[in-house]
């Protein structure tokens, strides 16, 4: 018996007033797979991620997450979603450690202080544990936001431009974390402005142009973007 997809959209459309942002989007993603949505500003990528997270309602079509309609997603399944967006959802007046401890407690994760330390170490910020987030660079904030998104071990991870504002070390850290999440069975949907490879990970690549989704036509084999040496 085939496992049900983690994410499935059926002729998804979204309009703001008279302006269509997403048109007839059909996407299916299974556990342990990663997809990348490639498109410019205003293409509809962020809107689609918000709908998949249950933070927006489609105008037309239907979305199922973990087999449930996204408009009536259970509390249990909402807790299985992690998201990195352009808004960090971090508290600037709290320290890096306090932020992660807060979210660990919110999600009912045992031993929040130890969990916070583990993820701070994983994103290379353990030495900044007691620094307030308001003093962080954009790249440091991006890494901390990813730690926040994964600390409860979600089974669907939505990443809006996860490599933005990162230096090479940050790109390597984030890429490694994405690969680890997929390897443990999480489904990952990420966005980017251009073709972006993750070392050791095969991505199901799609172009998003004026709200329409299509298989990416660039460097791919069988519709999948593979690691590109030197990227």
Whether 96 is in a domain gets the answer no
The tens digit of pLDDT for each residue in 85-96 reads: 999 999 999 999
Alpha-carbon span 6 to 227, nearest angstrom: 24
Q: How many structural domains comprise the chain?
A: 1
List the domain range (segments joined by +) for residue 212. 1-80+156-161+187-223
Please tell me the number of Cα atoms within 13 Å of 128 on its side-chain side.
22
The answer to whether residue 209 is domain-embedded is yes
pLDDT digits (tens, 9 = 90+) for 8-57: 999 999 999 999 999 999 999 999 999 999 999 999 999 999 999 999 99
- The CATH number of the domain holding residue 20 is 3.40.50.300
| Residue 88 placed within a domain | no
Distance (Å, whole) CA 39 – CA 163? 14
In a domain, 126, yes or no: no
Q: Locate 46 and state its tokens.
A: 């962020």
Residue 196: what pLDDT?
86
**Is the residue at 207 inside a domain?**
yes
Whole-angstrom CA distances from 30 to 23, 75, 117, 188 are 22, 21, 31, 9
Q: What is the pLDDT along the chain (231 residues), one digit of tens a residue?
A: 458 899 999 999 999 999 999 999 999 999 999 999 999 999 999 999 999 999 999 999 999 999 999 988 899 999 999 999 999 999 999 999 999 999 999 999 999 999 999 999 999 999 999 999 999 999 999 999 999 999 999 999 999 999 998 999 999 999 999 999 999 999 999 999 988 888 889 999 999 999 999 998 754 443 455 533 222
Task: Tell me whether residue 136 is in a domain.
Answer: no
In-domain check, residue 125: no
135 in a structural domain: no
């Amino acid at each position: 018996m085939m496992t049900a997809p983690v994410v499935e959209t059926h002729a998804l459309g979204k309009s703001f007033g008279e302006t269509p942002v997403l048109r007839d989007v059909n996407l299916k993603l299974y556990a342990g797979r990663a997809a990348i949505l490639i498109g410019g500003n205003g293409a509809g990528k962020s809107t689609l991620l918000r709908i998949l997270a249950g933070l927006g309602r489609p105008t037309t079509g239907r979305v199922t997450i973990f087999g449930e309609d996204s408009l009536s997603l259970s509390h249990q399944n909402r807790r299985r979603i992690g998201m990195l967006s352009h808004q960090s959802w971090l508290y600037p007046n709290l320290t890096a450690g306090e932020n992660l401890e807060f979210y660990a407690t919110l999600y009912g994760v045992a031993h929040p202080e130890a969990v916070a330390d583990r993820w701070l170490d994983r994103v290379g910020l353990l030495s900044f544990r007691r620094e307030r987030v308001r003093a962080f660079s954009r790249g440091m904030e991006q890494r901390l936001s990813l730690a926040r998104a994964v600390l409860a071990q979600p089974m669907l991870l939505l990443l809006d431009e996860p490599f933005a504002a990162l230096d090479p070390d940050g790109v390597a850290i984030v890429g490694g974390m994405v690969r680890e999440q997929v390897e443990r069975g999480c489904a990952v949907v990420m966005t980017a402005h251009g073709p972006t490879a993750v070392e050791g990970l095969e991505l199901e690549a799609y172009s998003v142009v004026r709200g329409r989704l299509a298989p990416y036509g660039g460097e791919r084999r069988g519709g999948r973007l593979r690691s590109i040496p030197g990227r």
